[in-house]
């Protein structure tokens, strides 16, 4: 496994990679979410490399050692998909291989992966989503007004609404270690039900203060691994990562041209049974097969929470390798 910085057409991207780099191995691209980094995929990078794949996990735009363009508008879904297109092209130039890959995404990385497959199916020949199912564009209106209406009805703010504030990142940056520890704890499968986050924040609280101060690191998170996150977010901050959320309505406007378009490449989806994100995105699981027309697997992992590829790496690795191995065979009927 190695890390290096790669200059793509529009961005310097830091990547974690392993496996054959001579063009002989299929490329698998792993996209992380919030608040994560390329290192979130270490177990998958290792397993994929051992199975003969070229595995690459970038720090995404605004995260870690990848560049942070200024301005909210620089973090639209089109920019994020474009970064992955640029990365695949740059890797293909290096290795002399075909400009294609299988794309895997977790959390915010899942919508990026789904849209990679939706917009560039010739390049992204299959997609595997974790934790967040594909959510098609709703023609009746942008998402934030709907989220605010739900928040008003329940009397608690969905955290995504709070993230729209220009200074929302400061709640995380006051104590980076505490914010990360609380976030990992509140969305972990090992955390008791009454201490998991619901995603809805009580009046007068924010994402960080809502979580108990005695929150502990999840059992899978070693102190050394946690220290890597703390160092990265202490250096880079949370403003750029939150810009991904601040582009939700912009994304809705930009994506009108793909209204009703479906994902036709082979796909799979995996979610933790106890993932709190299912409280507000779980409905899309039921309709996923309608929008991903070659959906080969939909798996709910017992006992797992949101950080599924780190909580249960063996389960995720086995499912991912099974999916990759089946790409040369016809879909199930």
Please state whether the peptide bond connecting residue 161 to the residue before it is cis, i.e. omega within 30 degrees of 0: no
Per-residue DSSP letters for 247-314?
Answer: THHHHHHHGGGGTT--B-S-EEEEEETT-TTHHHHTHHHHHHHHHBTTEEEEEEETT--S-HHHHSHH
Straight-line distance from the first to the last Cα atom of the chain, in angstroms, rounded to the nearest whole number: 38
Catalytic residue among 65, 107, 188, 239: 107
Answer yes or no: 54 catalytic.
no
Q: Is 297 exposed, middle or buried (0-12, 13-18, 19+ CB in 10 A)?
A: middle
Positions of E strands within the chain: 2-7, 12-18, 27-31, 54-58, 101-106, 124-130, 157-158, 200-201, 267-272, 295-301
Contact yes or no for 298/158 (Cβ under 8 A) = no
Least Cα distance to 165 among 251, 249, 243 occurs for 243
Please tell me the distance from the alpha carbon of residue 170 to that of residue 239, in angstroms, as a whole number.
8
Please tell me the distance from the alpha carbon of residue 60 to that of residue 67, in angstroms, as a whole number.
8
Catalytic residue among 54, 115, 169, 306: 306
Answer yes or no: 115 catalytic.
no
- For residue 148, what are the contacts with CB-CB under 8 A and spacing of at least 6? 161
Please tell me the distance from the alpha carbon of residue 116 to that of residue 313, in angstroms, as a whole number.
24
Contact yes or no for 201/152 (Cβ under 8 A) = no
> Active-site residues: which are they?
107, 306
């Amino acid at each position: 496994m190695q890390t290096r910085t790669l200059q793509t057409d529009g961005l310097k991207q830091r990547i974690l990679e392993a496996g054959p780099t001579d063009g002989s191995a299929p490329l698998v691209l792993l996209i992380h979410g919030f608040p994560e980094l390329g290192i979130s995929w270490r177990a998958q990078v290792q397993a994929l490399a051992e199975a003969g794949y070229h595995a690459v996990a970038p720090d995404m735009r605004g995260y870690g050692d990848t560049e942070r363009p200024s301005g909210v508008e620089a973090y639209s879904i089109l920019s994020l998909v474009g970064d992955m297109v640029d990365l695949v092209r740059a890797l293909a130039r290096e290795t002399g291989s075909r400009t294609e890959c299988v794309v895997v995404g977790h959390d915010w990385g899942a919508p990026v992966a789904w849209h990679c497959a939706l917009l560039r199916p010739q390049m992204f020949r299959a997609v595997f989503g974790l934790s967040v199912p594909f959510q098609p564009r709703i023609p009746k209106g942008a998402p934030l007004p709907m989220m605010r209406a739900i928040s008003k009805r329940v009397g608690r703010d969905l955290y995504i609404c709070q993230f729209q504030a220009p200074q929302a990142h400061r709640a995380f940056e006051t104590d980076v270690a505490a914010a990360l520890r609380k976030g990992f704890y509140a969305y972990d499968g090992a955390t008791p039900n009454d201490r998991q986050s619901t995603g809805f924040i009580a009046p007068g609280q924010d994402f960080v203060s809502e979580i108990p101060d005695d929150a502990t690191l999840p059992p899978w998170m070693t102190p050394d691994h946690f220290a890597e996150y703390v160092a990265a977010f202490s250096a880079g901050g949370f403003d750029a990562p939150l810009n991904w959320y601040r582009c939700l309505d912009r994304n809705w406007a930009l994506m009108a041209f793909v209204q009703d378009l479906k994902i036709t490449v082979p796909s799979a989806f995996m979610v933790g049974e106890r993932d709190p994100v299912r409280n507000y995105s779980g409905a899309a699981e039921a309709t996923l097969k309608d929008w991903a027309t070659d959906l080969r697997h939909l798996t709910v992992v017992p006992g797992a929470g949101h950080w599924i590829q780190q909580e249960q790496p063996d389960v995720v690795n086995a499912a991912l390798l099974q999916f990759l191995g089946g790409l040369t065979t016809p879909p199930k009927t």
